[in-house]
A and B are shown apart, each in its own frame.
Chain A
Amino acid sequence: MIAAPAIAGTRLTPGLALSLLLLAAFAVLIVVPGLVAVQSPYDVDPSRALQAPSAQHLFGTDDVGRDVFARIIHGTRVTLGLVAGSLLLSALIGGGLGVVAGYAGGWFDLAAGRFADMILTFPPIIAGVVITGVLGQGAGNLVLALAVVYLPTFFRIARSGALSEAARTYVEAARALGFPEWNILLRQVLPNVLPLVVLQYVILFPLALQIQAALGFLGLGVAPPTPDWGATLEQGKNFILVAWWLSFWPGLFLLASAVAVTVLGRALRDRLGGD
């Protein structure tokens, strides 16, 4: 809702238009994958294992004869949907904590800041590997891992935003007028910090996507046989020299979605004047 006016004021370059189209297509695939992929992503048929792409199986078949096209299309929800959800969780918790920490300061700010620093000492992918490696496969653990990894980034951006807002004259004026603190925080500070968090969300999305895919590739993502782009890529690794299509398509979809979100992020950043 905050992003909407920001997009509206942005000049629609061909690149941005293409990226918005792609994102709309991915959104459709997340909601109704069955509309595009009529075959089942789970139907095993060893008699048609490792078939090259054909009219019947657009992206070929995998080592147990499942239709790769169906698996990729249905994997959109698992891959992009999970990243979107985890980042949203991260933005809500990290951003919320950051706003409070920046506005209130004191011991809470200090403790939350230390916690954020601790997570930041790990390179993101390592933190993701450790969390999912310890907790095991599964969508829930994957979401948790991704949310935790990006918590400090949202925390910091919201904190610094709230910090600079809290020093503004209008906050002082509101306080002088006798508005309660929570009211100032929710009605005045939060709306001004929100665009920063939204922008950060879009900028972090491609990075989180890479980590989601890497974890899937390492066998630490969702549990099989759920279709996931990173996991399908890994599956193809063992047949790479005889069946390139198994790894090629999921990688291409990862690339396309990352490009689309990155282009959108840059347009938003130019518009919102971040750095």
Chain B
Amino acid sequence: MAVMLARRLGSAAAAAFLSALAVFLLMRAVPGDIVGQMLGQSGTDRSAEAALRAFFGLDRPMHAQFLDWLGRTLTGDLGRSWYQGRAVTAMIAEAFGVTLQLALFTLAVSTLIGVPLGMLAGIREGTRLDTAIQTFNLLGLSAPVFWVGLMLLVGASAFLGWSPPFIYRDFADDPGENLAIMLLPVISLAILQAAAYSQFVRGLMVTELRREHIRTAIAKGLTPREIYFKHALRNVLIPLTTFMGLILVQILGGVVVIESLFSLPGLGRLILSGLQGRDYPVVQGALLFVVLIAIGINLLVDLLYAVIDPRLRP
């Protein structure tokens, strides 16, 4: 177990390092940095340009800039935003709170809807109910999330006369207002992920119910409830854990668009605005954070896998 963990940690660290380097180089490889943006088209004052570049450390060789950033990052200092002057770590912490709330709500809702739907479709394979659920899966997986969000906005306004509040409020500040803001983003993301869950669980269930031990259980005269929940569900649980991790990573990606649509100040918006302003410390820090979260989730899934399935324990 320790060996497996060490090996996985090692390759994860290598991947994170490489991706940090890639982002760093990519941002600096293209023309147009923050100095160009600050001075604008008219700014042809060479000395001002040089002074600003020196101020941001952009005059130094690329490898020196990278090593400097890497060294400070390893001590937990991601630098300060070039626009706001605030510590990047603080900005990420604030934005992540919003994204995490969105992601966890979505995960909860989509699991609660998607898993039972998938089980139901699998158990009733070939019936009309199965077809209906599969149609939902297909549509849910194919509809663009932001389109679903917009259509929900239209629907809520036209049929219920309700619109979400415009200004973001923290859950701690104003729970009611916060939940009202989160409602439509969570539903739009959850429809997609519930469809993904349902599709996946249906497939597992169908295969599972055809296996020997289920047939034995039926022959033994066990009730359907015992067969589905005690025998089938247990074996479905293992791949489901992996899938949950995958879904969580997907949600983390999906929030970029949804945050932009519903003006939520989360990680996605932080990355987008950082990219627009060429705010290197913010983009580098936020991306590194996202990558580490994704790696962390995958690692956690692997460990959980080993806990659930004893065969995978060395």
Which residue numbers of A lie inside 8 Å of B, CB to CB? 114-115, 117-126, 129-131, 133-136, 206, 210, 213-214, 217-218, 230, 233, 236-237, 240-241, 244, 247-248, 250-251, 254-255, 258-259, 262-263
Contacts and interface: CB of A to CB of B under 8 A. Distances in A.
B16 interface: yes
B142 A258 contact: yes
Contact of B147 (A125, A134, A251, A259): A251
B292 to A, nearest CB: 9
B260 interface: yes
22 contacts: A118-B19, A121-B18, A123-B249, A125-B256, A126-B290, A130-B283, A133-B271, A133-B275, A134-B26, A135-B30, A210-B144, A213-B146, A218-B256, A233-B150, A237-B150, A237-B261, A241-B154, A247-B150, A251-B143, A251-B147, A258-B141, A259-B139
Contacts of A213: 144, 146
Contact of B15 (A121, A130, A233, A237): A121
Contacts, number: 130
Given A237-B261, A259-B142, A122 B290 contact: yes
Report the contact-size class of chain B (Cβ under 8 Å from the partner).
35 or more
A268 to B, nearest CB: 16
Given A236-B150, A251-B147, A118 B15 contact: yes
Interface string B1-19: 0000000000100111011
Contacts of B290: 122-123, 126
Given A121-B19, A259-B139, A134 B30 contact: yes
Given A129-B271, A130-B26, A131-B26, A114 B256 contact: no
Interface of B: 11, 14-16, 18-19, 22-23, 26-27, 30, 138-139, 141-147, 150-151, 153-154, 157, 163, 249-250, 252-254, 256-257, 260-261, 268, 271-272, 275-276, 283, 287, 290-291, 294-295
Given A117-B14, A121-B18, A262-B138, 20 more contacts: A114-B15, A115-B18, A117-B15, A118-B19, A120-B15, A121-B16, A123-B249, A125-B253, A133-B272, A133-B276, A217-B261, A218-B256, A218-B257, A237-B261, A251-B143, A254-B147, A255-B147, A258-B141, A258-B143, A259-B142
Contact of B141 (A218, A248, A262): A262
Contacts of A117: 11, 14-15, 18
Nearest to A215: B257
